[in-house]
Amino acid sequence: MTSEPQKPLKTPPYSDIDLNRWREYDHVLTDSLWLMESRDRTGGHQLDYHGNFIPQIAAQTYLRYTKENDIILDLFLGSGTSAIEAARLKRRLVGVELKPDLVEYVRDKISPTLLDDRIHILQGDSTNEETATRVRKTLASMDAEHAQLLVLHPPYHDIISFSDDPADLSNSSNLENFLNLFETVARHGFGLLEPGRFAALVIGDKYTKGELIPLGFYCLERMQRAGFRTKAIVVKNITGNERGKGQDSNLWRYRALTWGFYIFKHEYIIIFQKPANGA
């Protein structure tokens, strides 16, 4: 009896998804609406930092846009969700975070066998050219010229204050300054990313003085100015990301009915691609 010949592996140039077996990838999302039940608390993830994203965002983007051993660059690392997920999915990562104490905290979470080898955590200001130079040197120490996925999860302007540091984007004095600093980081990320590869921007909108400020769309526009092409706007529920709001939700509902707004229940994961010719 002869067995069926095995089809050769057929993957996109940027992922390990075997297109011959595409029906087996139910766990990989392709719809633009992500309704996630709850935060994945397995594999070393905790809700230990106000403003962190749920690990599923990292997992989904890594599976879609990277191969094993590829390097993810996260220029707003925070509490290191993207680093923990990179270790779990056998990817490498370079992360930059402004707050020195947080950098130490994240370094403690990473297995010593991976730290400063497959996972690099740098303390620095991502708007700074000197930080981009350090990232480039770190990539060189990993035998790479570029990262293969850029992750950007900036402060949503001033809705959470992360530190007193004037370089912290959450301390930008006004919206224009915030967007200019964000664009500077986006431009550094663009230069550090391999042509043809992808970037994921995680961002939400905000209200100021009774007006909705569409930070997500403004940041999208800045990514385009930096040279990226937009591939998708994913809308994700934020219910699984919140601490229990309890009685507060009734108050917000009352306020919404009074003032005519809708209560934020979503944020965006906006996917971009750097053109293959690098232009």
Ligand X SMILES: C[S@@+](CC[C@H](N)C(=O)[O-])C[C@H]1O[C@@H](n2cnc3c(N)ncnc32)[C@H](O)[C@@H]1O
> Contact positions toward ligand X, by CB under 6 A?
49, 51-53, 76, 78-79, 81, 96-99, 125-127, 153-155, 162-163, 167-169
Do residues 233 and 32 lie in contact, with contact meaning Cβ atoms separated by under 8 Å? yes
Q: CA-to-CA distance for 268 and 233, rounded, in angstroms?
A: 7
Residue 207: strand pairing partners? 212
158/194 with CB nearer ligand X:
158
Q: How far is the CB of 192 from ligand X (least distance, A)?
A: 14
Q: What is the three-class DSSP state of 115? A: strand
The nearer residue to ligand X, 21 or 265, going by C-beta atoms, is 265
CB of 211 to ligand X, least distance (A): 22
> Is there a contact between 84 and 72 (Cβ–Cβ < 8 Å)?
no
Residue 88 or 99 having the CB closest to ligand X: 99
User: Which one, 17 or 115, has the nearer CB to ligand X?
Assistant: 115
Identify whether the C-beta of residue 192 lies closer than 8 Å to the C-beta of residue 147.
yes
Q: How many CB atoms lie within 10 A of CB 205?
A: 18
Nearest residue relative to ligand X (C-beta): 78
Q: Shortest Cβ distance from residue 116 to ligand X (Å)?
A: 19
Q: For residue 13, what is the enclosing H or E element? A: none
Type of residue found at 240: G
Tokens of 229: 């092409």
Tokens of 35: 């309704």
CB of 204 to ligand X, least distance (A): 10
Is the Cβ of residue 52 or residue 61 nearer to ligand X in the bound state? 52
User: Whose Cβ is closer to ligand X: residue 163's or residue 230's?
Assistant: 163
AA letter at 77: L
DSSP state of 47: S
Q: How many helices (H) and strands (E) does the chain have?
A: 7, 10
Question: What is the spatial distance between Cα 169 and Cα 78, in angstroms, rounded to a whole number?
Answer: 13
Tell me how far the alpha carbon of residue 181 is from its chain's centroid.
17
Nearer to ligand X (CB atom), residue 48 or residue 68: 48
Tokens describing residue 100: 């020195």
Closest approach of Cβ 267 to ligand X, in Å?
A: 10
DSSP H or E stretch at residue 151:
strand 147-152
- Locate tokens 């293959």: which residue? 276
User: Smallest gap, in angstroms, from Cβ of residue 102 to ligand X?
Assistant: 6
Q: Considering only CA atoms, which of 197, 193, 223, 220 is closest in space to residue 276? A: 197
> In terms of CB distance, is 54 or 144 closer to ligand X?
54
Please, what is the minimum distance in Å from the beta carbon of residue 68 to ligand X?
22
Closest distance to ligand X from the beta carbon of 79 (Å): 4
